[in-house]
Amino acid sequence: MNNKTLQQLVDKNFNNYKKGKVADYIPALAKVNPKQLGITIYDLKNNDRIQAGDVDVRFAIESMSKVPVLLLAIKDRGIKKVFETINTEPTGFAFNSIMNMEINHRKHPMNPFVNAGAIATTSLINGKDAKEKFERILAFMREICDDPDITLNKEIYQSEAKTGDINRSLAYYMKGNQMIEEVPETLEAYFKQCSVDVTATGMAKLAAVLANKGVAPWSNQRIVSEESATIVKSIMTTAGLYDESGEFSVHVGVPAKSGVGGGLMAAVPNSYGIGVFSPALDNCGNSVAGIQLLKDIVQELDLDIFK
């Protein structure tokens, strides 16, 4: 595959945006132009990348932030501590469900990719206060995405903080059940981590690090441990696409994580890191054109890990 054939797949899938709509729970997301689609594929074998469409457009990372923050939490606290705090089971419930912990009598959030688990993950990040926690998260994101221009989008952040009451409810529920200790600082860092602007190319690089067992292919520097890269790809497979994770796993079959900003990344073990951006979402909150395009790529390059 080259840039040209990739562009053909982008063109083929472009109109899928019409089947979805952009997130509208905050104004800063509602005003995003739905007519965008971009993809970057980082090829580990050739240590090269191909790309097509809107690959440099910045968009909110949103739930995809759960991946780098989980990696940083593991660096900070170790695998044992992180997964003593947060379970790794898929939930069957919506990402923001308040009842899944109570109904399943869990003493732990069910996995790091539902909001409760992601908030608990953020609570484990080292740092003396929310500011320092977020600075460390931001620095780590810049490193693992090889993108020094990632910054906080203040408009998104302020909206997230303003409308984030269900996340507050989840956080206090966890505090009241001894799952996390500190709520306002954790939430400040959490809302900020969701509100940074990234690109499809940056997401492809992050995914490439995961695909490459934790080593940045562009520098040959290890960024995270092999074990944490393996674990995170596993959780992406069972819980990466909200309550569409099982269906995605069946029909596409690569470890992936989505965000309501329209981003989607996929880490194909030992071969590719892929970043996609198209902001119109399906009912579950996943990029419509993004999923279709990724499905085509997976078929074209024969990437389904279950095949």
Catalytic residue IDs: 63, 66, 190, 242, 260
Strands 48-53, 197-198: pairing kind: unpaired
Q: Does 7 bind a second copy (CB under 8 A)?
A: no
Q: Which C-beta is closer to a second copy: that of 10 or that of 44?
A: 44
Tell which one of 84, 247, 283, 299 touches a second copy (CB under 8 A). 247
Whether 140 and 72 have beta carbons less than 8 Å apart is answered as: yes
Q: How far is the CB of 198 from a second copy (least distance, A)?
A: 23
Q: How many CA atoms, within 13 angstroms, populate the side-chain half-sphere of residue 186?
A: 25
- Check binding of 24 to a second copy (CB under 8 A): no
Q: Does the footprint of a second copy cover residue 226 (CB under 8 A)?
A: yes
Q: Can you tell me the distance from the alpha carbon of 12 to that of 8, in angstroms, rounded to the nearest whole number? A: 6
Please identify, among the stretches 28-36, 99-107, 121-129, 197-205, the one whose residues bind a second copy according to the rule CB under 8 A: 99-107
| Distance between first and last Cα of the chain | 20
How far is 125 from 300, CA to CA, in rounded Å? 39
In the complex, minimum distance from the CB of residue 297 to a second copy, in angstroms, rounded to a whole number? 16
Q: CA–CA separation, 198 vs 60, rounded Å?
A: 6
CA-to-CA dists, residue 264 to 59, 62, 93, 107, angstroms: 11, 11, 20, 30
> Quick check: helix, strand or coil at residue 48?
strand
Residue 27 binds a second copy, judged by CB under 8 A: no
Give the type of residue at 300.
E
Strand partners, 195: none
Judged by CB under 8 A, does residue 230 bind a second copy?
Answer: yes
Q: Are strands 256-258 and 221-222 parallel, antiparallel or unpaired?
A: unpaired
User: Per-residue string for binding with a second copy, 116-155, x by CB under 8 A?
Assistant: ----------------------------------------
Binding residues: 63, 115, 160, 167, 190, 242, 260
Q: Check binding of 80 to a second copy (CB under 8 A).
A: no
Question: How many CA within 13 A on the CB side of residue 103?
Answer: 7
- Cα gap 114→234, rounded to integer Å: 15
Question: Does residue 40 interact with a second copy by CB under 8 A?
Answer: no
Query: Helix (H, G, I), strand (E, B), or coil: what is residue 272?
Result: strand
Tell me how far, at minimum, the Cβ of 272 lies from a second copy, in Å: 14
Q: List binders of a second copy among 269-298 (CB under 8 A).
A: 269
Is position 176 an interface residue for a second copy (rule: CB under 8 A)?
A: yes
Q: Which H/E stretch holds residue 263?
A: strand 263-268
Give bridge partners of residue 274 from the DSSP assignment: 41, 266
CB 251 within 8 A of CB 54: no
Q: Considering the complex, state which of residue 58 and residue 257 has its C-beta at the smaller distance from a second copy.
A: 257
| Among 35-43, 45-53, 70-78, 163-171, the segment contacting a second copy (CB under 8 A) | 163-171
| Residue 225 binds a second copy, judged by CB under 8 A | no
Answer yes or no whether residue 246 interacts with a second copy by CB under 8 A: yes
Nearest approach, Cβ of 253 to a second copy (angstroms)?
Answer: 6
* Interaction site with a second copy (CB under 8 A): 83, 87-93, 97-100, 102-104, 110-111, 163-166, 168-173, 175-177, 183, 213, 226, 230-231, 233-235, 237-239, 243-247, 249-250, 253, 255, 269, 304-307
